[in-house]
Amino acid sequence: MNILIISFDADPPYMGGVATMTNLLAKGFIAKGHSCTLGYMRESEHPSNFFKQKIKLSESYKYSGNKFDIILSQFCNIDYTLLSPLKKQETVILTAYHNRPMLHSLRIEGLLNIYHQSSNILYKLYTLSKIPFLPMYYIKGHYNEKRVFRNAYNNSDKFILLSDKFYPLLKK
């Protein structure tokens, strides 16, 4: 199988958890005889040497004729229109989300943690000044994340979360 994995273009020690998972998955796929190509959106100061084949996905990206059996996107917020020529080839698109859904909605607990952990008095005051606006931050964050998840879900053949316990959050 020919697999395109969309992730960060980075190698150790400059990569985080998503790029680490990308490399581990690619190593496993290659060990089983599959071909893996890295699709990335942004240039990196420390580009990956692990992937021999890489494609930069952007507005100017033109479909090069590569046939992929599977596309595994490690992000939810990609522009799925870039993948539409590949989708016409009956390529299976998988999207993985490497966090808890709705984690980025600003909550009072998060602000209070930031407040207690900071030693800078101005930053503490800045943090406290956000409290009256929490409902607005929550609604905006909820709306944005809902839009991103809906787009990823509708454009994927399979949507993968870290735990089965997160699916009720996603449905909500």
pLDDT in tens, 116-134: 888 899 988 988 888 888 8
**What rounded mean pLDDT belongs to the chain?**
82
Cβ distance 39 to 70 under 8 Å?
no
- Among 73, 69, 79, 62, smallest CA distance to 21 is for 73
Indicate whether this model's pTM tops 0.85.
no
| Inter-CA distances, 83 with 15, 50, 57, 77, Å | 25, 23, 9, 13
pLDDT tens per residue, range 30-66: 999 999 999 888 888 888 888 888 888 876 565 566 7
The amino acid at 135:
P
Fold held by 2-98: Rossmann fold (3.40.50)
26-30, 34-38, 70-74, 85-89: which has the minimum mean pLDDT?
85-89
Q: What is the pLDDT of residue 32?
A: 96
